[in-house]
């Protein structure tokens, strides 16, 4: 048994090394923007670059809209399935897993082919493409969204709660907004932060639908031209992801770990 | 399911709205219509249109020429490389991830080590694409920190020895950064599902730890292990941003090929592009079916 | 020399003391129960015999051999777990044969032994089923067979019936006892259910807070509890504070009401000393039947009809006592508020030690 301890620490150590070194290398590089000395010049330039801030804001907005649309779609659906149509549950679950079969690059290919009316618009209100982008993100996040909401509803036993509320005379609106949704807060927040993390970093859909308006493609472009700024961006985007993941853990129960990745349970 | 005051139609066991109306099967579909409609419009329809397009020629007539066109050396090679790299990273990520997850779950680590590594795995599994590729360029690129460090401190010149970040193996090492954490996250619940009493019962009956693993531990974990590695395969198979950022199209991957096709008609036959996409979906569908079957199996056993 | 000896065993955990000063000698073929509430150390002690915990002090000697430092897979003791712990990836037959397979017994011998065990637990047709296809009771029987298949020197059972329904529990515990008798195997049985322990054990070790409170046959434990804890944990018991009036004659006063007790514990007390007295409910009877040493006036406070037993709460003086009588359909039950007389022998009045 004592021998095992060594191997455990070995794996942990090797993994830590592997995870840490690229981050350190990037961070180290980002401090070398000014020749010969360590400085935060790269970060300064990054903050002053209008493209970056603009695209970050844009992607955040898209992310928030994705969350709203996703929750609006999934919460009533999962609730309905649990309450009135349990037999449809395998169907809904199956559909929620379908996005895994269609990689992002294929999805965007198909979206463009079907909805190409939307992308060649040259006006400033790219409403059509933005909506397409949001819809695409909802699809990509569907498995995690479904799992999160479903697990949350299971944990609070929606069926019994609904029956209790009904027996006390509540109507559907009251049940939904005063009973169900408040109890789903942590599941919804967890799903929200995860969606935001996915959207902020996403490249494939963004680059073909909206190009340099989104954060992901901008990171790419900066990487092509300005290495120091790019390294600062990498560190910042990593920090943002870290904060979002931390928030998920903070908000959710233990099941949050499993809901980040699609797998058994 | 529920002992309900409101009486129901035959066979139905769903609770009712405030008005005690009968709820027939056809009515129960209504609530999932928005969901199904949305999935249809933005997932199924696009996929179907690609599917249809791959069987059409430029005039819209039915043809199998595009499917045949997949079997040219160039495209077959693209599939082969993509599959190879997915298998490689799935196996590497799977094995290392398993040992790491096992160490974290059963290794008697202090709880802060476990929880911070778990959180980190959540971060790292989402930290893919462009930033990841760039981070690795800063690490293992020609003038990357680690490259330089190894050369100056250990006299080990990676690039002299044939290593190249912008190659198959370089990409694999990069992919590992999100494959490994994904494996850890996915396999941890399964490892936790291995009950301590099984191990004790086996020991009590005379088994050594190795015998326990061989007869009980691994067989019980196998469906989850395989299922997780399939997930890793799918993850790698569909990766686009990382590959593009790191190798800029140098390596012949199906995703890169499709991407180029979207940007401009590089295949000189748009329908061939659709066939490419179809091919990807077919591979993924096969993998996901196997995954689904494996998952049912493991839930079956681990439930009791 | 006894078959299984636990000598000066103790187990100290970082946050608490699990077992203190445990000494026990078990004879071959004996069925001994460890009885006590959760956290009393009974499971810890069992696990030390199995080898899953190492004693902080003391030795464990099995059949003359000191096994204290032996690994769990070297001890040849068979363990039955509360959660059955059947290997889910193996059939019933494979589970039962597992220990023999590890010992590399020849295949035909394993088959024979598995068939033997299946017959013993009356599950001959279930050999090819998987654990999740069986009920809880069936799974536990398979777990028992699996532990017995390796011909262990001792059979250890860790609350094997706690996870089962009440009816199955009663049936299965007799079955376990019958099998144990038939095979003549030494068994240690951990439980928190005192009825279970009383019904199937040769001897009971009552534990509390890591210590042994009393060791004895079920009869001894029930009728002559030596400590407060044993008296209140095993069976129902009336207890009350009393003052010693005359140690020689055995007179005590419970809030003014005089009782005569034959308990030897009294001899060492002084007049005026405060003690704790106890009487089993079934030792009371109505004075109209037979008059015994103690005849006490009482008022009927409450009557609970339990089926075979009628539990009557009577107030003697200022103290309430519980009295159990057998149900008699031809006798009218007393009414609440009635005045009556109850009686009990002097041997029934126990003085609790500490």
pLDDT digits (tens, 9 = 90+) for B23-45: 555 677 788 899 999 999 899 99
| Cα distances (angstroms) measured from residue B27 to each of A80, A239, B4, B33 | 12, 48, 19, 11
B7: confidence class by pLDDT, cuts 50, 70, 90: very low
The better pLDDT of the pair B43, B301 is held by B43
- Identify the DSSP state of B56: B
pLDDT, one tens digit per residue, over C134-150 is 999 999 999 999 999 99
Examine the predicted complex and report whether its ipTM is higher than 0.90: no
pLDDT score, position A119: 47
User: Cα separation of C174 and C162, whole Å?
Assistant: 15
Question: Which of B39, B284, B298 minimises the CB distance to A100?
Answer: B284
For chain B, what is the mean pLDDT?
83
B303: confidence class by pLDDT, cuts 50, 70, 90: low
- Its pTM stands at 0.79
Average pLDDT over residues C286-309: 88
A184: confidence class by pLDDT, cuts 50, 70, 90: confident
pLDDT, one tens digit per residue, over C221-235 is 998 888 888 988 888
Residues 167-196, chain B, touching C (beta carbon < 8 A): 195
The better pLDDT of the pair A128, B287 is held by B287
pLDDT score, position C302: 92
Subunit contact A138:B42, Cβ cutoff 8 A: yes
A201: confidence class by pLDDT, cuts 50, 70, 90: confident
B22: confidence class by pLDDT, cuts 50, 70, 90: very low
pLDDT, one tens digit per residue, over A133-146 is 999 999 999 998 99
For chain C, what is the mean pLDDT?
91
The yes-or-no verdict on residue A11 having pLDDT over 70 is yes
Whether B299 and chain C come into contact, CB under 8 Å, resolves to: no
User: Cα separation of A61 and A130, whole Å?
Assistant: 10
pLDDT, one tens digit per residue, over B185-230 is 889 888 888 888 999 999 999 999 899 999 999 998 888 899 899 9
A99-108, A115-124, B110-119, B135-144 — which is least confidently predicted? Answer: A115-124
Subunit contact A163:B15, Cβ cutoff 8 A: yes
For chain A, what is the mean pLDDT?
82
Tokens of C131: 């654990």
* Chain B environment of A20 (Cβ under 8 Å): none
Please give the span between the terminal C-alpha atoms of chain B, in angstroms, as a whole number.
Answer: 21
Subunit contact A86:B273, Cβ cutoff 8 A: no
C78: confidence class by pLDDT, cuts 50, 70, 90: very high
User: Cα separation of C203 and C226, whole Å?
Assistant: 15
User: Cα separation of C149 and B128, whole Å?
Assistant: 54
Q: Which residue is closest to C49 within chain B, CA to CA? A: B204
- Helices B270-303 and B254-263, packing angle to 10 deg: 140
Question: Is B256:B267 a contact under the CB 8 Å cutoff?
Answer: no
pLDDT score, position B236: 92
A261: confidence class by pLDDT, cuts 50, 70, 90: very low
Subunit contact C85:B301, Cβ cutoff 8 A: no
Whether B58 and chain C come into contact, CB under 8 Å, resolves to: no
pLDDT, one tens digit per residue, over B80-123 is 999 999 999 999 999 999 999 988 888 777 888 888 888 888 88
The yes-or-no verdict on residue C18 having pLDDT over 50 is yes
pLDDT, one tens digit per residue, over B64-80 is 887 888 888 888 899 99
pLDDT score, position B25: 56
The better pLDDT of the pair B299, C59 is held by C59
The yes-or-no verdict on residue B9 having pLDDT over 50 is no
pLDDT score, position A12: 87
The yes-or-no verdict on residue C98 having pLDDT over 90 is yes
Residues 140-159, chain B, touching C (beta carbon < 8 A): none
The yes-or-no verdict on residue A5 having pLDDT over 70 is yes
- Helices B145-154 and B129-140, packing angle to 10 deg: 20
pLDDT score, position A252: 67
pLDDT score, position B304: 47
The yes-or-no verdict on residue B266 having pLDDT over 90 is no
B19: confidence class by pLDDT, cuts 50, 70, 90: very low
B20: confidence class by pLDDT, cuts 50, 70, 90: very low
* Chain A environment of B255 (Cβ under 8 Å): 103, 105
Subunit contact B185:A257, Cβ cutoff 8 A: yes
pLDDT score, position B301: 65
pLDDT score, position B285: 92
Question: Which of C73, C87, C147 minimises the CB distance to B198?
Answer: C87
Question: Is B67:B151 a contact under the CB 8 Å cutoff?
Answer: no
Whether C14 and chain B come into contact, CB under 8 Å, resolves to: no
A211: confidence class by pLDDT, cuts 50, 70, 90: confident
% of chain B residues with pLDDT over 90 = 29
How many A-B residue pairs are in contact by the CB < 8 A criterion? 291
Query: For chain C, what is the radius of gyration of the CA atoms?
Result: 25
% of chain A residues with pLDDT over 70 = 90
The yes-or-no verdict on residue B163 having pLDDT over 90 is no
Question: Which of C76, C79, C89 minimises the CB distance to B201?
Answer: C79
pLDDT score, position B26: 64
| Cα distances (angstroms) measured from residue C24 to each of B121, C205, C234, C253 | 51, 9, 20, 38
User: Cα separation of C311 and C289, whole Å?
Assistant: 17
């Amino acid at each position: 048994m004592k021998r095992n301890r060594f191997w455990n620490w070995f794996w942990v150590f090797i993994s830590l090394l592997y995870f840490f070194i690229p981050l350190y290398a990037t961070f180290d590089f980002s401090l070398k923007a000014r020749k010969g000395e360590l400085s935060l010049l790269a970060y300064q330039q990054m903050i002053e670059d209008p493209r970056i801030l603009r695209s970050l804001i844009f992607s955040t907005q898209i992310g928030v809209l994705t969350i709203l649309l996703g929750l609006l779609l999934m919460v009533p659906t999962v609730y309905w399935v649990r309450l009135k149509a349990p037999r449809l549950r395998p169907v809904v679950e199956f559909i929620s897993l379908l996005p895994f079969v269609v990689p992002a690059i294929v999805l965007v290919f198909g979206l463009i082919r079907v909805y190409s009316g939307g992308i060649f618009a040259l006006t400033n209100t790219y409403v059509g493409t933005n909506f397409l982008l949001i819809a695409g993100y909802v699809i990509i996040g569907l498995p995690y969204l479904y799992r999160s909401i479903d697990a949350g509803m299971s944990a609070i036993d929606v069926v019994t709660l609904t029956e209790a509320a009904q027996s006390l005379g509540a109507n559907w609106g009251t049940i939904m907004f005063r009973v169900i949704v408040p109890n789903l807060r942590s599941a919804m927040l967890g799903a929200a932060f995860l969606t935001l993390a996915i959207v902020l970093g996403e490249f494939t859909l963004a680059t073909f639908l909206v190009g340099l308006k989104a954060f992901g493609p901008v990171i790419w472009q900066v990487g092509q031209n300005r290495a120091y700024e790019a390294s600062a961006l990498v560190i910042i985007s990593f920090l943002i992801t870290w904060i979002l993941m931390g928030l998920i853990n903070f908000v959710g129960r233990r099941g949050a770990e499993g809901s980040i990745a699609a797998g058994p349970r | 399911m529920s002992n309900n005051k409101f009486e129901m139609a035959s066979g139905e066991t769903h609770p009712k709205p405030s008005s005690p109306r009968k709820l027939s099967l056809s009515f129960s579909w209504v609530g999932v219509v928005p969901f199904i409609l949305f999935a249809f419009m933005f997932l199924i329809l696009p996929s179907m249109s690609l599917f249809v397009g791959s069987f059409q020629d430029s005039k819209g007539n039915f043809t199998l020429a595009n499917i045949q066109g997949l079997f040219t050396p160039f495209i077959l090679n693209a599939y082969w490389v993509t599959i190879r790299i997915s298998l490689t990273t799935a196996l590497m990520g799977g094995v290392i991830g398993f040992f790491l997850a096992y160490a974290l779950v059963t290794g008697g680590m202090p709880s802060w080590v476990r929880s911070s590594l778990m959180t980190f795995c959540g971060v790292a599994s989402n930290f893919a694409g462009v930033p990841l590729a760039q981070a690795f360029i800063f690490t293992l690129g020609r003038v990357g920190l680690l490259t330089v460090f190894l050369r100056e401190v250990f006299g080990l010149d990676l690039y002299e020895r044939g290593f190249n970040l912008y190659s198959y193996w370089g990409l694999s090492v990069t992919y590992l950064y999100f494959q490994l954490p994904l494996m850890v996250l996915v396999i941890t619940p399964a490892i936790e599902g291995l009950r301590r009493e099984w191990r004790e019962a086996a020991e009590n009956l005379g088994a050594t730890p190795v015998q326990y693993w061989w007869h009980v531990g691994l067989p019980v974990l196998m469906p989850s292990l395989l299922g997780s590695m399939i997930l890793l395969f799918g993850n790698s198979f569909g990766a686009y941003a990382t590959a593009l950022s790191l190798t800029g199209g140098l390596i012949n991957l199906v995703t890169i090929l499709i991407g180029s096709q979207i940007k401009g008609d590089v295949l000189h036959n748009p329908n061939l592009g659709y066939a490419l996409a179809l091919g990807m979906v077919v591979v993924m569908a096969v993998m996901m079916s196997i995954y689904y079957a494996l998952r049912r199996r493991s839930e079956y056993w681990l439930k009791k | 020399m006894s078959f299984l000896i636990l000598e000066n065993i103790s187990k100290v955990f970082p946050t608490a003391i699990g077992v203190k000063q445990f000494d026990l000698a078990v004879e071959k073929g004996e069925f001994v129960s460890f009885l006590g509430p959760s956290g009393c150390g009974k499971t810890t002690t069992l696990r030390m015999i199995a080898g899953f915990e190492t004693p902080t002090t003391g030795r464990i000697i099995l059949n003359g051999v000191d096994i204290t430092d032996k690994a769990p897979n070297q001890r040849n003791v068979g363990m039955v777990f509360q959660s059955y712990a059947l290997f889910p990836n193996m059939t019933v037959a494979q589970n039962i044969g597992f220990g023999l397979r590890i010992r590399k017994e020849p295949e035909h011998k394993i088959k024979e032994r598995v068939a033997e065990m299946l017959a013993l637990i009356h599950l001959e047709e279930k050999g090819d089923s998987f654990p999740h296809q069986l009920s809880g009771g069936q799974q536990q029987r398979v777990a028992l067979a699996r532990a017995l298949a390796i011909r262990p020197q001792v059979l250890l059972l860790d609350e094997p019936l706690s996870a089962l329904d009440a009816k199955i529990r009663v049936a299965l515990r007799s079955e376990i006892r019958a099998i144990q008798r038939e095979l003549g195997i030494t068994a240690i049985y951990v439980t928190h259910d005192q009825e279970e322990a009383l019904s199937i054990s040769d001897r009971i070790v009552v534990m509390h807070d890591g210590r042994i409170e009393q060791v004895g046959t079920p009869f001894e434990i029930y009728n002559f509890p030596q400590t407060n804890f044993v008296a209140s944990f095993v069976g129902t018991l009336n207890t009350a504070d009393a003052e010693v009036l005359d140690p020689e004659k055995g007179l005590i006063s419970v809030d003014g009401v005089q009782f005569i007790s034959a308990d030897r514990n009294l001899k060492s007390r002084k007049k005026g000393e405060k003690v704790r007295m106890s009487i089993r409910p079934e030792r009371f009877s109505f004075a109209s039947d037979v008059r015994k040493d103690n005849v006490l006036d009482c008022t009927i406070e409450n009557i609970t009809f339990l089926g075979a037993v009628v539990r009557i709460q009577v107030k003697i003086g200022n103290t309430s006592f519980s009295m159990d009588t057998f149900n008699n359909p031809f006798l009218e039950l007393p009414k609440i508020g009635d005045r009556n007389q109850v009686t009990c022998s002097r041997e029934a009045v126990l003085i609790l030690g500490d």
